[in-house]
Structure 1
Amino acid sequence: MRPAGRDDTDSLYFTYPRFAAPPPDAARQGHHQVIVAGAGPIGMTTALTLAGEGVPVLLLDRKDTFNDGSRAICIARSSFHILERIGALSPFLDKALGWTTGRSFFRGRQILEFHMPDSPDEKFRPMYNLQQQYIEDYLWQAVAAHPLIETRWQTEVIGVSDLSHGVALGLRDPGGDYTLTADWLLAADGARSPIRAMRGLRLAGENYEGRYVIADVQMDHDYPTIRRALFDPACRPGGTVLIHRQPDNIWRIDYQLQEGETAEAATQEATVRASVAAVLDEIGHKGPWDLEWWSVYSANTLALDDYRDGPVFFVGDSAHIVPIFGVRGLNNGLADAQNIGWKLGWVLTGRAGQALLDSYTPERRGATLDVFANATKSTRFMTPPTRGWQILRDAALSLALQREWAGQLANPRQMQPYSYADSPATLTDVHGGVSGPVPGTVLPSAALTGGGFLTDRLGRGFTLLCFGQAPGLTDTPDLATLALDPADHAATVLGATAGSAWLIRPDLHIAARWHEMPSAASVQAAMDHVTARQDIRT
């Protein structure tokens, strides 16, 4: 919502582009390998990942511009690695505000200051704040420049039906209705996914009672880029307020609605202005400010049972809805996009068997359930679902005024990459007790002795990372070898010794490891297993 007199895209700081409908000569019949529905952050990342694997993509969106409002604003370190892999990183680094610290307050007194893990071995900061308009803008720059991606704005999916091989999509644009066919459809069309409804699928899970208004204000405020959480503040008795700094002097303020306060009443402009003014008075801001945008949300943990329905894959919010606490929504969706993007890309270019696609749901739904487990703890603390939870939460906060350890209960437990240890696209670890990261986990970041970072030296496909004399493998676009000196600093970070080796997937997850240098045949067998080319032979 915008203040009176301004439309949905009349921003104080961002100029929304307007994208034309497809021209009259755009093909209104034909077949595509992959169609991606939804040109938000998840859809564009999916398209860029596929195109990076050499797969042409048709990207559709029913709107004529980006999503209105700042919406998702926190980008995790793991997502910056994804942005780097798809070639979209540079503008994000230039604009986003990195941060490591959060502070929590109870009735005006600080009870916690947490610091997310960070070190010189990390190429990126743990978290960055950037408005969703910029996220979409920067991804769009990469999409528009890619020769393998065709984008059709103002194009709505109005029907989906299965074919013997693939799907038929009914489409509508200002020029009329038409049909295209595709081998695969990737639905990245958001939490209210029309495609999910067309397939007769429903999200299942829990809805939480607590609702929040999110309001963006523009003001010159000198507080650093530190996440602030206010519990039971004078401005919102019994409630919770979150405050984040964003670029362009924009500040995100999330505040919990009080019992009996309806969303309709709370989102009236006069009410929002009065509520924001009370928060700003609470944090000591006396200067001018202007209201940019606001909305309302509730915390939910909802997901599909299966992220695949025949030739249709669901990606991001079309597959799951997670609470914002711990900034998991956007980041979880970006990991979905990378996961299905590289796998489908490898299948379509003949580098993997179709069984590789069977690992998408167990890996990414597993990640979602892990998010639910952690986010539920945060949600119950931030938004107590019952009077009993409220009493327990406030008792813990009161204790935190005298006991430092109790303040950790207010830690939001920021998102961490999920381990695919049980995935069919990961080899079972047979080296228990050996030091170093295990299969399924993300490769740790490490600074190299000679400069740069470990991830800078990885190949575009799989990489065999080894310490010492590498096996006799010929580098290909599918598999590169990175041999490092066992004395390199990276060996210390990974707990590596001479002969240690790891097979790294395109998404930086570890597929296999060896505590003694593997033979070329062993590495190839591992590759065959992970990419479903054939059963691994032992």
Structure 2
Amino acid sequence: MTLPSRVPVLIAGGGPVGLTLSALLSAQGIANLVIESDESYCTGSRAICMSRRSQEILGWVGADQALVEKGLSWVGGRSYWRHNEVLHFQMPSEPTQRFAPMVNIQQFYVEALSHQSAQATGSSQVQWASRVTAVKPHDGGVDLEVSTPEGAQTVHADWLVACDGGRSTVREQLGLHLEGTQYDGKYVIVDVVQKTQRAVERLAWFDPPSNPGSTILMHRQPDDVWRIDYQIRDDEDPLEAVKPENVLPRVQSHLAMIGETEPWEPLWISIYNAKCLTLPSYRHGRVMFAGDAAHLVPIFGVRGLNSGLDDAGNLAWKLARVVRGQSPHTLLDSYSTERVHATRENIAYGAKSTEFMAPPNFAYKMMREATLRLAEGDAQVRSLINPRQSTPVTYVGSALNAPQVGAWTHEQAAPGAPAPEALLQDGQGAFHLSSRFGRDFLVLAFGPVGQRAPAVPGLETMAIDPAMDAHGQAWQRYGLSGPEATALVLVRPDGYVMGRWHGHDPAPVLQALNTTGVLA
């Protein structure tokens, strides 16, 4: 297939982040070309836990329903020390929530759903079995050499987004290096097919009798698949550790210990070690970095793929506005600032989890064992075992945050925070507020019943009154003091609060868009 000679956006890497970014850009009407070295979607489960935030992002391109129907939703988990349960945790959840806190689904399903969403718009093209081999950025864009089954081809991209993973060719071509910490502890990852009646939970064992001295994680997945991760000893050869003759007996021992006696067979075996690495900046002229090409975060707390999808959600609307000429190039600086901040927060939590799950030295091992011993009888200690699952990061200090004026009853919807969810009711029936995010800027106009919402030039406005908010969620979470209070809340296209103001004067909203550099 002959590639186009010029594209507005070229995405290097057709994994879940690249394909989701492609779908988000396509939904905004931005033509894009994805270059992927594999011949199709990935093999093996790889990243499996999709956060509520990731489900919302996939909902922006219409992929959420299929994801939830195929996936296995869950709200908590259990940890064991040897034979004894030492932690049973549950993540915040409520019956009115749109999505469960987490859903387990193999990565290749996420890739397929994102790709299908992108293809449905007609604005996306994916070139499989091809790779970017040379990157030459300049003021007017990026010239790329692409190796394809038909031979080498040249493409000019106005913008390049590197989503080409931990061994990013684009990063190497630009002479950039990840900074941070790499841990020595290694985990073998195994997918096995086995029928089970066990609840869908995150399961962890420390020093289990089935594999003394190891740590084991288990997750149920669709298609009767168990995902099993277990730590190997420091003196074990990683190449030997992934051989079936060494893996299968350890898996069998553990399945027998927990009472899973149905026949089983292996599907996929790999190995992993935790890394806390990031580029200092995710923007280099007309080249942007996202996902593992930008940062590598430990799997513990499921921040890897979820943070990559958050990169895509943050970048897509900004890049679309720049391509259309609606915003200056400098808007893309906020992508780097916000997402580097998010990565550093994810790394801080991920490092703590990694040091507990795979202690880097003897002192950490002693500390972990003491914690696990105490946790058997002391509920206050159990919080130290909690894996701190991924949650959306607040963009503290972002240049896009409008100054907050006046007193508010709740800071959950402060500028820079993810816009809170609420179950509302209108003439068409019940709906979740988050279902209205992800397209463009949205002004939420809070006011008394019967009061008409003000028109904000150039922006969609949605009126919310106490009658719509039967559960009181929106009124409380957005910080309104009572049913007669009025306020405007500006929500960014990625579902983050940009600003909020008491009253119904649209002038501060428009001023915020100008002073923060969103408008060209």
Whether 1:445 and 2:445 are equivalent positions in the alignment is no
Pairing of 1:102-501 with structure 2 (within 5 A): 102-431=77-406, 434-436=409-411, 437-450=413-426, 451-458=430-437, 460-468=439-447, 469=451, 472-473=454-455, 476=458, 479-487=459-467, 488=469, 489=472, 490-497=474-481, 498-501=485-488
Query: After superposition, what is the alpha-carbon deviation per residue over 1:114-143, rounded to whole angstroms, capped at 9, x for unaligned?
Result: 000001332100000001121112112112
Residue pair 1:101, 1:113 contacting (<8 A) in 2 also: yes
| Identical aligned residues as a percent | 40
Deviates more, 1:279-288 or 1:166-175: 279-288
Q: Which residue of 1 aligns with 2:494?
A: 507
What secondary structure sits across from 2:359 in the alignment?
coil
Match of 1:361, SS state, is helix
Please give the per-residue CA displacement for 1:390-410, whole angstroms capped at 9, x wherever unaligned. Answer: 001000100011112212211
4+ residue runs of structure 1 moved beyond 4 angstroms?
Answer: none
Separation of aligned partners in 2, 1:459 and 1:292: 36
The answer on whether the counterparts of 1:231 and 1:241 sit within 8 Å (CA) in structure 2 is yes
Measured after TM superposition, the shift of residue 416 of structure 1 is 0.8
Secondary structure of 1:237's counterpart equals: coil
Q: Shift in Å at residue 182 of structure 1?
A: 1.1
Q: Distance in 1 between matches of 2:438 and 2:74?
A: 29
The superposition leaves residues 401-449 of structure 1 with CA deviations (integer Å, 9 ceiling, x where unpaired) of 1112212211000011011131112213334554342010101111114
Q: Report which stretch shifted further, 119-128 or 433-442.
A: 433-442
Letter in 2 for 1:104: S
Q: Do the aligned residues in 2 keep the contact of 1:167 with 1:311 (CA within 8 Å)?
A: yes
Structure-2 change in CA distance of 1:332 and 1:389 (3 Å): same
Question: Is this contact kept in 2: 1:421–1:428, CA < 8 A?
Answer: no
Tell whether the 8 Å contact from 1:471 to 1:517 is kept in structure 2 after alignment.
no
Count residues with an aligned counterpart. 506
Given the superposition, is the C-alpha separation of residues 457 and 166 from structure 1 closer, same or farther in structure 2, using an over 3 Å criterion? closer
Within-5 A mapping of 1:27-66? 27=3, 30-66=5-41
Report the 3-state secondary structure (helix = DSSP H, G, I; strand = E; otherwise coil) of the residue aligned with 1:452.
strand
Distance 1:275-1:373 versus aligned 2 partners, 3 A rule: same
> Any idea what SS the aligned residue of 1:252 has?
strand
Structure 1 gaps, min length 5 = 1-21
2:510 maps to a residue whose letter is Q
Task: Indicate the SS of the match to 2:424.
Answer: coil
Q: Which runs of 5+ in 2 are unaligned?
A: none
User: Normalised by the size of structure 1, how large is the TM-score?
Assistant: 0.91
2:509 to 510, 523, 532: 523
Distance across 2 between alignment mates of 1:457 and 1:470:
19
- For residues 88 and 431 of structure 1, the distance between their equivalents in structure 2, rounded to whole angstroms, comes to 39
Distance 1:313 1:43 in 2: 12
Residues 459 and 161 (structure 1), Cα distance of their counterparts in 2 relative to 1, 3 Å cut: closer
CA contact (8 A) 1:458 1:480 kept: no
Q: Structure 1 pair 74/421, CA: closer, same or farther in 2 (3 Å)? A: same
Q: Aligned partners of 1:464, 1:287: CA distance in 2, in Å?
A: 54
> Aligned partner of 1:529: which letter?
T
Shift of 1:470: 5.5
Q: How far off its partner does 1:259 sit?
A: 3.0
Change (3 A) 1:349 1:464: same
- Structure 2 distance, partners of 1:341, 1:122, is 25
State the alpha-carbon separation in 2 of the partners of residues 53 and 353 from structure 1.
17
The 2-side partners of 1:374 and 1:432 are apart by: 31
**Distance of 1:138 and 1:164 partners within structure 2:** 35
